[in-house]
């Protein structure tokens, strides 16, 4: 193995291990375990934080450690797999900084800004590192059916998030006078989540989904990140809904809890199907397929490529 490759895999391994350690440290210090970190939010918001921390502790952190092991062993799937927990951490822990009602509610979250900042910076570094390491032409070739199903799934999820989850609340917030418990209780959190989901998550999923449906090669790399990130986010939201339900939160919903749990299970199954070729030695990278086609065409015509 070349020295640069050796340094790259060790950097990724240490980065993912560090990200997992920071996620565990935050979850233990937070309201789920030691309750040292006090968020400036409502009781319902606190139930959501606890549920999200539960998923982070038992789903996201183990995923980080698993990718760290794969990276240390120089497995080619490691940079692709790292994109999902990296993007999840960027999305989640920046919201935990921005989504507090700092001037309206008691708490001490600002004292732990360095921890959340470290989580965000390390996650961003991991994503940028892996984005440069993963080349679309080196990814295994997936079937046309899988690409189309992936595209449809991303478009459907984008539509569900925009129209099903956010549009009703947005209509209420823009009414005169504004209405809706989520907005009236935690207005800052409400707008932060709307900005992230409607300004970043939905457009990205929609663009990549359409790219896959049109069979564009550039869409293949971000598809791994978005499908994996949505899967982790699904478990986080499912954890929130379960914790709200078990704590008799007035905003809890049985259909929402069942729905997000089922969605998370379905996304996990689909992610396994999508990621499986990364672990199959017989899978042929797209670049090799193209080179073989060019060689075959050249042999057939008797021309020598320039």
Q: What confidence tens digit (pLDDT) does each residue in 168-216 have?
A: 999 999 999 999 988 999 999 999 999 999 999 999 999 999 999 999 9
Please state the domain count of the chain: 1
In a domain, 151, yes or no: yes
pLDDT of residue 181: 87
Residue with structure tokens 């900042």?
117
Residue 96 burial class via C-beta count within 10 angstroms: exposed 0-12, middle 13-18, buried 19 and up: buried
In a domain, 74, yes or no: yes
In a domain, 18, yes or no: yes
pLDDT of residue 303: 57
pLDDT of residue 142: 85
Domain limits for position 118: 3-283
In a domain, 73, yes or no: yes
Cα–Cα distance for residue pair 225/63, rounded to 1 Å: 14
In a domain, 34, yes or no: yes
- pLDDT tens sequence across 258-302: 999 999 999 999 999 999 999 985 554 544 444 444 444 444 555
In a domain, 306, yes or no: no
Question: Range with the lowest mean pLDDT among 6-10, 27-31, 55-59, 267-271?
Answer: 6-10
For the full predicted model, state whether its pTM sits above 0.95: no
Cα–Cα distance for residue pair 269/271, rounded to 1 Å: 5
What count of Cα atoms within 13 Å lies in the side-chain half-sphere of residue 37? 26
- Measured in whole angstroms, how far is the alpha carbon of residue 72 from the centre of its chain? 22
Greater pLDDT, 5 or 249: 249
pLDDT of residue 70: 96
pLDDT of residue 137: 86
> What residue spans of 162-285 are helical by DSSP H?
167-173, 181-185, 187-196, 202-213, 220-246, 254-275
pLDDT at residue 159 is higher than 50: yes
pLDDT of residue 281: 59
pLDDT of residue 295: 44
For range 86-90, the mean pLDDT: 97
Q: Is 37 left (phi over 0), alpha (psi -120 to 50) or beta?
A: beta
Identify the CA nearest to 29 among candidates 47, 5, 55, 50: 50
pLDDT of residue 5: 77
Asked whether the beta carbons of 159 and 210 are under 8 A apart, the reply is: no
In a domain, 293, yes or no: no
Integer Rg of the chain from CA: 21
- pLDDT tens sequence across 142-153: 889 999 999 999
Asked whether the beta carbons of 95 and 196 are under 8 A apart, the reply is: yes
Phi, psi of 140 (to 5 degrees): -65, 145
What is the pLDDT of the chain when averaged over all its residues? 90
Helix, strand or coil for residue 141? Answer: coil
pLDDT of residue 302: 56
Cβ-Cβ contacts under 8 Å for 150 (sequence gap 6 or more): 142, 209, 212, 223, 227, 270, 274
For range 23-32, the mean pLDDT: 97
pLDDT of residue 78: 96
In a domain, 28, yes or no: yes
């Amino acid at each position: 193995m070349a020295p640069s490759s050796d340094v790259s895999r060790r950097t990724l391994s240490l980065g993912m291990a560090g990200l997992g350690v920071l996620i565990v440290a935050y979850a233990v210090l937070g309201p789920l375990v030691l309750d040292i970190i006090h968020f400036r939010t409502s009781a319902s918001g606190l139930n959501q934080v606890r549920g999200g921390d539960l998923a982070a502790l038992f789903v996201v952190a183990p995923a980080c450690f698993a990718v760290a092991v794969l990276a240390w062993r120089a497995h080619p799937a490691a940079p692709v797999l790292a994109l999902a927990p990296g993007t999840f951490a960027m999305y989640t822990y920046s919201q935990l900084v921005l989504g507090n009602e700092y001037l309206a509610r008691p708490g001490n979250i600002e004292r732990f800004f360095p921890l959340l900042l470290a989580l965000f910076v390390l996650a961003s570094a991991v994503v940028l590192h892996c984005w440069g390491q993963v080349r679309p032409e080196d990814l295994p070739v997936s079937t046309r059916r899988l690409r189309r199903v992936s595209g449809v799934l991303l478009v459907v999820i984008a539509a569900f998030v925009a129209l099903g989850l956010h549009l009703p609340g947005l209509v209420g917030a823009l009414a005169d006078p504004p209405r809706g418990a989520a907005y009236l209780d935690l207005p800052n959190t409400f707008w932060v989540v709307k900005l992230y989901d409607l300004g970043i998550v939905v457009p990205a999923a929609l663009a990549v989904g359409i790219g896959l449906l049109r069979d564009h090669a550039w869409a293949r790399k971000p598809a791994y990140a978005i499908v994996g990130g949505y899967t982790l986010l699904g478990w986080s939201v499912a954890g929130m809904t379960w914790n709200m339900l078990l704590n008799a939160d007035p905003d809890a919903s049985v259909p929402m809890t069942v729905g997000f749990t089922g969605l998370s299970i379905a996304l996990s199954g689909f992610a396994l199907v999508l990621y499986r070729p990364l672990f199959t030695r017989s899978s042929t990278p797209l670049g090799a397929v193209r080179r073989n086609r060019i060689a075959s065409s050249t042999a057939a015509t008797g021309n020598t490529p320039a």
